Chains A and B, each alone.
Chain A
Amino acid sequence: MTLLKHRLFWPVAALVTLVVVNVIANPNFAKVTMRDGDLYGNPVTILRESAPLMLVALGMTLVIATRGIDLSVGAVMAVSGAVSLTIIADSPDPGSLGTVTVAIVVAVLVALVLGAWNGFLVSVLGIQPIIATLVLMLAGRGVALLITGGAITTVTSAPYKFLSNGYLILLPVAFFIWVAVVAIVALVERRTALGMLTESVGINPEASRLAGVRSRGIILSAYMVSGLLAGVAGIINASNTMAADSNNAGYLIELYAILAVVLGGTSLMGGKFSIAGTVIGVLTVTTLDKTIQFFGVPPAQSPVFFAVVVVIVVLVQSPRVHAWGRAASARMRRTPSGGEPPTGPGAASAAKKREEVAA
């Protein structure tokens, strides 16, 4: 029962179910092979391809915890990809480590500034987050197109390509990047007081202000982290294709990131957030994406399939559905025994009440 009550139980259950269904349908789904000392196969691909969404969703988690939302992440990805690839393309030596380092650092800094801009609009000017970030969501891709001169910039640069396509020990570099970023963010949030103060601001901004919390700084920092991580995601994304496609880089990723955050159990109302939950949410979304490919769903129908599965996953996690389930099973047990009380008297209704009390 305590396991059932753990806040990550249902997110994990959804992911595991999804994987199990895939494996039953096609045992090759989980097949991993070793080639030249590196691992290949569907699970490895999922870990690799999760990277951009993972980084974006991580930033989104912090923003959502402050009662905000960041719609601009996809556009920031496009800008970051455009900046880095333009620097590499314009450099005399695109393949050198120095060029790539400069390209990455500049792109990430630009993304950080864009995040700070969002944070400024929200925390200092008090603009509604959805509107504040919509500005950049719409304008950002235009900025990216300006940087690339309207074309899709393509480059050849081995060190840059390594970020998304390379391997370190057994596993892809991109996987290690997101694991490292998750670890750093988790450490920063939980080892410093940033996590608690973020939750405090998200749960009750006014009470936090009266307690002396610098809400502005907290909110600003969340948007900056979100921008920064979107920048890194943009680099990995561009490294994957080795092209800066301003119109399609990170297209709709803000919505998938929000989905992943919610699947991970963080409420859109703000407040309590779970980094581990978001990791699971992202893996669920990416796995679902692979499932669609594996089942050979035609591209035209794949959004419908995706939507249906998402609805099922969300329902499985819904506390209200759980309460209904318990009530139904209690009724089932009662009926055959002729009106006798169920084994746990009032268990279902008591659980429902706990929710109401909690609400």
Chain B
Amino acid sequence: MPCQDGPVDEASALVEIAGATVRFGSFTALDGVDFRMFPGEVHSLMGENGAGKSTLIKALTGALRLDEGTVVIDGAARHFSGPRDAQEAGVSTVYQEVDLLENLSVAENIFLGREPRRFGVIDHRAMRRDAAAVLEGLGLSLDPASPLGRHPLAVQQLVAIARAISTDVKVLVLDEPTSSLDLDEVAELFRVIRDLKERGVAILFVSHFLDQVYEMSDRITVLRDGSLVGEYLTTELLRIDLVKKMLGRDVAEIAPREHVVEPEMPADPILSARGLTRAPGITNADVDIAEGEVLGVAGLLGSGRTELARVLTGVDRAHSGIIRIEGKPARLDSPRHAVNLGVVYSSENRRTEGLIGDLSVEENIALALQAQQGALHPISGARRRELALSWIEALGIKPADPDRLVRTLSGGNQQKVMLARLLALSPRVIVLDEPTRGIDVGAKVEIQRLVGELADNGLSVVFISAELEEVLRVGDRVAILREGEVAETVNAASLNPDTLMALVAQPDLPEA
């Protein structure tokens, strides 16, 4: 891997942030952090949620102003009063949650706010042509005139990157760019990143995937609790040391769960689906879930992971196929039906399909239970408070304040609120779609541990994740999806991430 070995030339820094301090009221989000980037490097910013990564990124991209400290880019001191200023200085950003406009075309999204003009009006032909060129540079064959919303999230993400690099970019910030991409797309993105690097662009790469951080980055800056821990050459920082520096403590290893379920199909499944089909997405999928087991679901993006989850939980209706719950055929026409049958769903999109951001933690926890009881049978204020407090304690939701608006919580805690809402329904089957996406290492381990505990208490869990290592760690059995079918179901204990990846990606490969 091309890497900047040895000490870099101090004078050549493209970005130099010194003494960056940001306060929100009495809370200090960033405390005198120094940060620098050099042209033609990939720099990873690491830290748990709340470490100050987002705040530092926002300071660099003009989304907020520093209370103290300086930002120097390309040798000039900068005082950004908005993202536009930052863009003009050559800093472009792709955020974790795609923030493009779904009803506009791909081309319009790429050139939003800086459309090519002719005689004062937007030159759509030039825009489509330029967009096609940018997309081609990314190796994407997309119709620039097609509405963005018609494309899957992964493609939207690449369009966001296309948008960022279509400007005269000196610094490219990628905030969790790979969290919704499959392996091929990640490889494609990395190819693009290396290409940009060759062109002297400084790339700030933020990812929870340690593998990717080590594959891509030249240097790593670690933050913890709003302070700088240090800046390291990737080649000189052991992974275990990186994790220790991020957490400030040793990671508590979670004990492997007792794998009680045999690899063959359970004899007496609590939920059993046969021939589930819903185009596009899943065709003829069979699933069995036993009581008290964690069924991991692994598959490439587009293999039908989310589609399967949605059909199993009544969010989407199956076009054909049958679902039995405890042997009885069940009609799952809506999430309400599913909830009443004890089958609940946590979406991969916490923000858009999960939480009600402007309601409090307490209201979010009580929401599904209240909806089940009906508007006219309110949960009393006292009982609702009790319910919220007991789940806050049981799941360790922080801060432990039921009145806090849920959107102000960190990703990990939001996920716990989502879990609390579902668990308050006393479900029998809980389907978790990417429950640990975009949350920090500590919270991730906690969620995984919780899932194990829930299963030990008799709950059946469907655990969907793009991280194979996690699927293996949490799951008893693993259902492997290929092209909308459950290709095979295997015992988790018999696999390691490499063999699972082989199964997921290339069915014909001999098993290791």
B24 at the interface (CB under 8 A from A): yes
Q: Knowing A192-B375, A206-B353, A210-B354 touch, does A350 contact B23 (C-beta < 8 A)? A: yes
Q: Is the CB of A204 within 8 A of B356?
A: yes
Note all chain A residues with C-beta closer than 8 A to B356.
199-200, 203-204, 207-208
Q: Is the CB of A196 within 8 A of B25?
A: no
Say which residue of A212, A271, A356 sits within 8 Å of B64 (CB atoms).
A356
- Chain B nearest Cβ from A2, distance in angstroms: 12
Say which residue of A213, A346, A352 sits within 8 Å of B371 (CB atoms).
A213
Residues 124 to 140 of chain A near chain B (Cβ within 8 Å): none
- Chain B nearest Cβ from A225, distance in angstroms: 13
Say which residue of B68, B358, B370 sits within 8 Å of A197 (CB atoms).
B370
If over half of A's interface residues share one DSSP class (helix, strand or loop), that class is named, otherwise mixed; here it is helix
> Which of A211, A346, A349, A352 counts the most chain B CB atoms within 10 A?
A211
Q: Is the CB of B315 within 8 A of A210?
A: yes
> Which of B65, B352, B371 counts the most chain A CB atoms within 10 A?
B371
Q: Is the CB of A354 within 8 A of B25?
A: yes
B359 at the interface (CB under 8 A from A): yes
Note all chain B residues with C-beta closer than 8 A to A7.
none
Q: What separation, in Å, do the CA atoms of A211 and B378 have in the docked complex?
A: 16
Say which residue of A192, A196, A210, A357 sits within 8 Å of B359 (CB atoms).
A196
- Proximity string of chain A (185-201) to chain B, C-beta cutoff 8 Å, 1 when within and 0 when not: 00000011110110110
- Proximity string of chain B (274-306) to chain A, C-beta cutoff 8 Å, 1 when within and 0 when not: 000000000000000000000000000000000
Residues 392 to 449 of chain B near chain A (Cβ within 8 Å): 421
> Which of A203, A210, A214, A350 counts the most chain B CB atoms within 10 A?
A210
Q: How many residues of B contact A (CB 8 A)?
A: 39
Q: What separation, in Å, do the CA atoms of A31 and B478 have in the docked complex?
A: 79
- Chain B nearest Cβ from A98, distance in angstroms: 32
- Chain B nearest Cβ from A195, distance in angstroms: 9
Note all chain B residues with C-beta closer than 8 A to A192.
375-378
Q: Is the CB of B371 within 8 A of A197?
A: yes
- Chain A nearest Cβ from B78, distance in angstroms: 16
Q: Is the CB of A354 within 8 A of B24?
A: yes
Q: What separation, in Å, do the CA atoms of A249 and B326 have in the docked complex?
A: 61
Note all chain A residues with C-beta closer than 8 A to B374.
193, 214
- Chain A nearest Cβ from B259, distance in angstroms: 31
Q: 13 A-B pairs, CB-CB below 8 angstroms? A: A193-B379, A197-B371, A199-B358, A200-B363, A203-B358, A204-B352, A206-B352, A208-B371, A210-B354, A212-B372, A214-B336, A214-B375, A357-B64
B interface with A by C-beta (< 8 Å):
22-25, 63-65, 67-68, 315, 334-336, 339, 345, 347, 352-359, 363, 366-368, 370-379, 421
- Report the 6 A-B pairs with minimum CB-CB distance, sorted nearest first: A346-B67, A213-B371, A193-B378, A212-B371, A211-B368, A212-B339
A interface with B by C-beta (< 8 Å):
191-194, 196-197, 199-200, 203-204, 206-214, 217-218, 221, 271-272, 345-346, 349-350, 352-354, 356-357
Q: With contacts A196-B359, A354-B24 known, what are 8 further pairs, Cβ within 8 A?
A: A193-B374, A193-B376, A199-B356, A199-B359, A208-B356, A212-B335, A350-B24, A350-B67
